[in-house]
């Protein structure tokens, strides 16, 4: 009897399991998931002027000699061995070309005596009582005992004092014309191919200074594989000799070129540059050719795009080819850094 009861109990249990499994098969299928909507921010395409730059650092210096003008700076050496007798200028003093800056004594000859001798021979020559050769010899002797300014400018430095012994290797003073300055820079040869005289130059000081290249060396330095370039600076600017300044040289300009916010241009799975063009509530990937980049904008080209088109900026990376979107915090090309983006 017990065996019969156990058999019936087991049969009922199996029947119950079968019924439960059958109910699961008959259950309705879950609804298909609705397409996700991605939250994004947008910007607007615009026409802009973009530049290509070569950047570097340069040093402000006096302008070199040209066919029309002498060098704008000079280090002055003693014309002969002797002892400094008199210094007539101070650092920072303006001088004119030909001004006497200092006098020397050499042996028994002094600059004062030499000057008196020149004046005496000038009078005799005017009277016909001495030769031109004698006068020129005396003037040459005086020139060996005087240091004169070779140009009009500012005394940048006086290196000697009265009583100091000097010779022809001693730099006794430095004079420079502060109205004729230049900035010189060495640009890596790999970046210098497009450089040429006339390229616009921006010296990135505060305030910035604009000028243009006046010289591009035809040679590459063996020491650092760089090309020397130089740009003359405007008269009366804020820069001073010896100043180390950042600069950039304009090598290409594209005007009225279609441009997109730089964060809107991304690379797709095939390695192509794309933007997500907003049409209604959808973002559609559009392949573009890219060009110059500047100040957060990138030049793009695609036949189906135009200025004022709206594109996805924040959230553009990884979007499918065609995506439902909701736009948040759109501000005409300016996007809020604090807004969140749905993943």
pLDDT digits (tens, 9 = 90+) for 329-343: 644 444 333 333 333
Residue 273 has pLDDT above 50, yes or no: yes
Q: Does residue 207 carry a pLDDT above 60? A: yes
Mean pLDDT, residues 193-205: 95
Rounded Cα distance between 276 and 321, Å, is 8
* Residue-wise DSSP of 197-212: TT-EEEE-SSS-EEEE
- What count of residues does the chain have? 343
Predicted confidence at residue 26, as pLDDT, reads 52
- Check the CA dihedral 71-75-81-86 and report its sign: positive
Summarised one tens digit per residue, pLDDT across range 110-143 is 999 999 999 999 999 999 999 999 999 999 999 9
The CA-atom distances, in angstroms, between 105 and each of 140, 141, 158, 159 are 15, 11, 18, 17
Residues linked to residue 213 through DSSP beta bridges, in sequence order: 231
DSSP 51: E
- Measured distance CA(265)–CA(215) in Å, rounded: 38
Share of the chain above pLDDT 90, in %: 78
Q: What is the pTM of this model?
A: 0.71
DSSP state of 241: T
pLDDT in tens, 289-325: 999 999 999 999 999 999 999 999 999 988 888 989 9
Domains along the sequence of the chain with CATH: 38-51+255-327 (2.40.420.20), 52-63+179-252 (2.40.30.170), 74-176 (2.40.50.100)
Q: List all residues 6 or more positions away from 280 whose beta carbon is below 8 Å from its beta carbon.
A: none
Name the helix (H) or strand (E) containing 31: none
Give CA–CA dist 180/233, Å, rounded: 7
Least Cα distance to 251 among 221, 234, 229 occurs for 229
Mean pLDDT along residues 161-189: 96
């Amino acid at each position: 009897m017990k065996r019969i009861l156990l058999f019936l109990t087991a049969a009922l249990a199996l029947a119950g399991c079968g019924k439960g499994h059958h109910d699961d098969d008959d259950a309705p299928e879950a609804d298909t998931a609705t397409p996700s909507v991605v939250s994004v921010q947008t910007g607007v395409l615009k026409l802009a002027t973009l530049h290509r730059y070569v950047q570097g650092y340069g040093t402000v210096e006096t302008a070199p000699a040209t066919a029309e003008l002498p060098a704008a700076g000079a280090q002055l050496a003693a014309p002969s061995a002797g002892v400094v007798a008199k210094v007539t200028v101070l650092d920072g003093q303006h001088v004119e070309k030909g001004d006497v800056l200092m006098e020397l004594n050499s042996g028994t000859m002094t600059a004062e005596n030499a000057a008196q001798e020149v004046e005496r021979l000038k009078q005799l020559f005017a009277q016909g009582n001495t030769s031109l050769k004698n006068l020129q010899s005396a003037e040459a002797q005086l020139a060996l005992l005087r240091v004169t300014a070779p140009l009009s400018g500012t005394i940048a430095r006086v290196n000697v004092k009265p009583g100091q012994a000097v010779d022809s290797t001693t730099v006794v003073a430095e004079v420079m014309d502060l109205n004729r300055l230049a900035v010189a820079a060495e640009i890596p040869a790999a970046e210098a191919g497009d450089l040429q005289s006339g390229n616009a130059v921006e010296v990135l000081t505060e305030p910035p200074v604009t000028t243009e290249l006046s010289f591009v060396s035809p040679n590459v330095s063996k020491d650092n594989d760089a090309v020397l370039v130089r740009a003359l600076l405007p008269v009366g600017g804020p820069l001073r000799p010896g100043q180390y300044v950042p600069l950039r040289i304009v090598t290409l300009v594209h005007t009225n070129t279609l441009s997109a916010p730089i964060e809107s241009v991304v690379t797709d799975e095939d390695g192509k540059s794309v933007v997500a063009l907003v049409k209604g509530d959808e973002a559609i990937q559009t392949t573009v050719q890219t060009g110059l980049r500047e100040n957060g904008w990138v030049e793009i080209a695609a036949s189906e795009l135009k200025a004022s088109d709206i594109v996805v900026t924040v959230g553009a990376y990884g979007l499918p080819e065609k995506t439902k979107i909701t736009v948040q915090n759109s501000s005409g090309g300016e996007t809020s850094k604090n807004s969140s983006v749905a993943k």
